[in-house]
Amino acid sequence: MADDKTQEEVKEEVKAEEAKEEVKETKQEKKGTKAVSGKVGKLVDEISTLSVLELSELVTALQDKLGVTAQAPVMQPPQGRLPPKVRLQVAQQLKPFS
């Protein structure tokens, strides 16, 4: 009998968890947000509880671990000579007004 009750409790817990997921999905649909997998959803829930300082530390730790930065890439000037037509346009733009 005790085993049957335990199985019933587990079934009830699973149903309750499924109902919570359905409510979350409905809320996400109303907000227009994209539904995510369970693992990602759990991460989002955990991250949403962090303070701003903790989020900053998390970003820094992830950047260090992954070897990336949030800085925008710097544009390199063109190498070599410009085509004649472009050089003429630049020269005309740089010509002082008379």
Tell me, yes or no, whether 28 and 45 share the same domain: no
Question: What pLDDT score does 59 carry?
Answer: 93
Whether 90 is covered by a domain: the verdict is: no
Tokens 């359905």 -> residue: 22
Q: How far apart are the C-alpha atoms of 28 and 34, rounded to whole Å?
A: 7
Give dist(CA 25, CA 41) in Å, integer: 10
pLDDT tens-digit series, residues 5-47: 677 877 788 888 877 777 776 666 666 667 778 888 889 889 9
Percent of the chain with pLDDT over 70: 80
Asked if the structure places residue 77 within a domain, the reply is no
Cβ(58)–Cβ(50) under 8 Å? yes
The values of phi and psi at residue 34, to 5°, are -80, 135
49, part of any domain: yes
Domain count, the chain: 2
Q: What pLDDT, on the 0 to 100 scale, is given for residue 64?
A: 93
Specify whether 44 is located in the same domain as 62. yes
Q: Specify if 55 maps to a domain.
A: yes
75 occurs within a structural domain: no
Is 57 strand, coil or helix?
helix
44 with 63, same domain? yes
- Answer yes or no: is 76 within a domain: no
Contacts 24+ apart (CB under 8 A), 16-20: none
Assess if residue 87 is contained within a domain.
no
Question: Is residue 49 over pLDDT 80?
Answer: yes
| Domain extent for 14 | 1-33
- What's the mean pLDDT when you consider all of the chain? 79
